Amino acid sequence: MARPYSPDLRERVIDAVLEGMSRRRAADLFNVGIATVINWVREFRQTGRKSARPMGGDQRSQSTGLMGQRGWILARLEAVPDLTIEELRGELMERGIVVGYGTIWRFFEREDITVKKNGSRRRARAA
């Protein structure tokens, strides 16, 4: 897995651009990609942060609207226990929340909800 550039390099590049150096010149001088310099400066101007964001983990699913819908989802699963992930996803879309299959799956993992349906799908007995 790739590692982030050093915080020192990142700060020096951002400072150079803020002092008037062009992004292309800073990229050449510090031996980093032009897009990297553009992204670092953009992020600094938007957030004021020069450090890199944490690497690893699933950052997207943690911040989705699903946690805001936790009560509704749990109530819906209690009302309809055999609701599939795709059906739940469709109902969320109707509510204006667009999420992927994996996001709902990870929500289920965090809430310790199983999707196994052994109780309602018993094996047929031999005749």
In a domain, 122, yes or no: no
In a domain, 86, yes or no: yes
Question: Is there a contact between 100 and 65 (Cβ–Cβ < 8 Å)?
Answer: no
Q: What residues make up the domain containing 69?
A: 59-110
In a domain, 54, yes or no: no
pTM score over 0.85:
no
33 with 66, same domain? no
84 with 104, same domain? yes
Determine the average pLDDT of the residues in 34-45.
95
Place of tokens 């982030």: 4
In a domain, 80, yes or no: yes
Q: Find, among 117, 115, 111, 114, the residue nearest to 72 by Cα.
A: 111
Domain count along the chain: 2
Q: Rounded mean pLDDT of the chain?
A: 84
In a domain, 36, yes or no: yes
In a domain, 127, yes or no: no
In angstroms, rounded to a whole number, what is the distance separating the alpha carbons of residues 109 and 111? 5
25 with 65, same domain? no
In a domain, 120, yes or no: no
| Confidence (pLDDT) at 114 | 80
Does the structure show a pLDDT above 60 at 71?
yes
| Confidence (pLDDT) at 40 | 95
43 with 74, same domain? no
Query: How big is the CA angle at 39 (ends 25 and 97), to the nearest 5 degrees?
Result: 165
Residue 80 CB partners (closer than 8 Å, separation 6+): none
